[in-house]
């Protein structure tokens, strides 16, 4: 049985919540549009990868019209790193921190 099958409920919750949060945040902050939030599995575990089509000033700051972030969310040995809802919060927060701070000088 694959990890994706074993943790199907966890991944459904994670995907639904992370997608909704990222979609809402990038729209609210006028950063772009969530193109995809894919779940994949390899020998390390299960990964979430968000792809966002950027627009506005964040394109110049990020240096690209496409943003990607990939995080390991379920270890092949040990299971989920976080509760599904909390993991979705962490993932969406990391995406927004990247976009909000890209290209900006500290201070």
pLDDT over 80 at 102, yes or no: no
Q: Which CA distances in Å does 44 have to 27, 62, 95, 101? A: 32, 29, 22, 29
Q: How confident is the model at residue 28 (pLDDT cuts 50, 70, 90)?
A: very high
pLDDT for 105 beyond 60 = no
Chain-centroid distance of CA 39 in Å reads 10
pLDDT band at 104 (very low <50, low <70, confident <90, very high): low
pTM above 0.85, yes or no: yes
CB 68 within 8 A of CB 33: no
Here the tokens at position 20 are: 């909704």
Beta strands in the chain (DSSP E): 32-42, 45-54, 66-75, 79-80
- 34: Cα separation from own chain's centroid: 10
- The average pLDDT across 67-82 equals 95
């Amino acid at each position: 049985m694959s990890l994706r099958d074993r943790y199907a409920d966890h991944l459904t919750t994670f995907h639904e919540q992370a997608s909704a949060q990222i979609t809402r945040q990038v729209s609210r902050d006028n950063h772009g549009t969530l193109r995809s939030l894919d779940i994949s599995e390899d020998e390390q575990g299960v990964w979430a990868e968000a792809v966002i089509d950027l627009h506005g000033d964040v394109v110049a700051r990020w240096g690209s019209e496409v943003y990607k972030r990939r995080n390991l969310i379920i270890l092949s040995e040990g299971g989920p790193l976080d509760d599904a809802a909390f993991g979705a919060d962490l993932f969406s927060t990391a995406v927004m921190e990247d976009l909000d701070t890209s290209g900006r000088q500290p201070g």
